Amino acid sequence: MKSYLNLKEEVWDRNICSGCGACVSVCPVDNIYFKEESPVKFVCDECACIIEPVEGIEHPVSAEFCKTTLYDVRCGACYDACPRTEKARISDTEPGLGRILKKYRVKAKIDVKNAQNGGVVTAILTNAFEEGLIDGALVMKEDKWTLEPEPYLATSKEEVIESAGSKYSWNVPILKTLKDAVMNKKLRRIAVVGTPCVMDAIYQIMSSNNDLLRPFKNAIRLKIGLFCFETYDYDKMIKILEERNINPWTVRKMEIVRGELRVTLINGDTVRFSLKDIEHAVRVGCKVCRDFTGVTADISVGNVGTPLGYSTVLVRTPWGEGFIDRAYRNGYISIEGDVNLDAIRKLLELKKKRKTV
């Protein structure tokens, strides 16, 4: 039986952890946590506990209370939920842009304040809540003043709209809130919005036969993947902005366009950063990722391949097509044309050429 020790050996120790939070959420005894939740790590040495610092790491750590390692109890939930282990099932998916049933140029028809790119994801989720198709959504929420991000469980359309405009270029363990959604609030129709690594973790959970993952896989109804080139460490990126005299509360949008990070300010100005110059702020685990669009999602959404103010929507499954169709028929989104797949492929190829860890 696999345990967190196998996860540590294959993923954490190799610095390829995506930081999605899946292992933290599915652990039945809360053995795994991120360093932000505790400044120290306790290492059990038979009858004594040794305190070790956990600074400078990007992966979760163990509280050394794994029932598999201590009492030989069958579990393996953390290992089976991780998309980056040696036995992960992600390699079974189609390469490149993945499976695409339909592709659309889409814009929200409802007013979404602070929307990043057309407000399409917010509009789809709002319609889904309105119709009772979902009872919860795992999204990211951002402090509009400090830009500090956090995983957020929205349980109403109002809460989804409130979280609109959050910048998914920050690394956030969105799946940390999955346990609260499933085990505490007993939600059974959950949508998950996240970057490709988050979609891969959900794919891994839903394709697993581990009984401990069954409540999670049964509760997930929709997967919305977001185009992602890489994510940034919050503290490091804030320092970079400050060096250019940019206060976080003046930032409206952050996006990667033509090989550079563009920071759009609320006064309309745009500050450009070469990706090479800010490479040190990229999360180390991002450098092994070769998926730009989220091939394991039901719907993939991004701002590449369509004009400003619109979103590219790649429909990957009949399930995802149903959500798009209902949002369109109910007047929450407009579908106004085709998309430029070549522009998306260019960024995908650029991402594939990056140096690995």
Q: Which whole number is the average pLDDT over 13-41?
A: 85
pTM check: above 0.85 = yes
pLDDT at 242 over 80: yes
pLDDT digits (tens, 9 = 90+) for 60-97: 888 888 888 888 889 999 999 999 998 887 765 667 89
Phi (first) and psi of residue 49, to 5 degrees: -115, 130
pLDDT for 53 equals 55
Name which residue leads in pLDDT, 50 or 306.
Answer: 306
pLDDT of residue 248: 93
Q: Given the DSSP bridges, would you call strands 149-154 and 260-265 parallel, antiparallel or unpaired?
A: unpaired
Q: What is the structure's pLDDT at 117? A: 62
Q: Which two tokens stand for residue 247?
A: 């206060």
**Cβ-based neighbour number of residue 163 at 10 Å:** 19
Position 51 pLDDT exceeds 70: no
3-state secondary structure the chain: CCCHHHHHHHHHCCCCCCCCCHHHHHCCCCCEECHHHCCEEEEEECCEEEEEECCCCCCCEECCCCHHHHHCCCCCHHHHHCCCCCCCCHHHCCCCCCCCCEEEEEEECCCCCCCCCCCHHHHHHHHHHHHCCCCEEEEEEECCCCCCEEEEEECCHHHHHHHCCCCCCECCCHHHHHHHHHHHCCCCCEEEEECHHHHHHHHHHHCCCCHHHHHHHHHEEEEEEECCCCCECHHHHHHHHHHCCCCHHHEEEEEEECCEEEEEECCCCEEEEECCCCHHHECHHHHHCCCCCCCCCCEEEECCCCCCCCEEEEECCHHHHHHHHHHHHCCCEEEEECCCHHHHHHHHHHHHCCCCC
Mean model confidence pLDDT for the chain? 89
Where does the pLDDT of residue 271 fall: very low under 50, low under 70, confident under 90, or very high at 90 and above?
very high
What is the pLDDT confidence band of residue 344, given thresholds at 50, 70 and 90? very high
pLDDT, mean of residues 235-255: 91
pLDDT tens digits along 279-289: 889 888 998 99
pLDDT band at 340 (very low <50, low <70, confident <90, very high): very high
Residue 46: pLDDT over 60: no
Tens of pLDDT, residue by residue over 95-140, are: 789 999 999 999 999 877 666 666 899 999 999 999 999 999 999 9
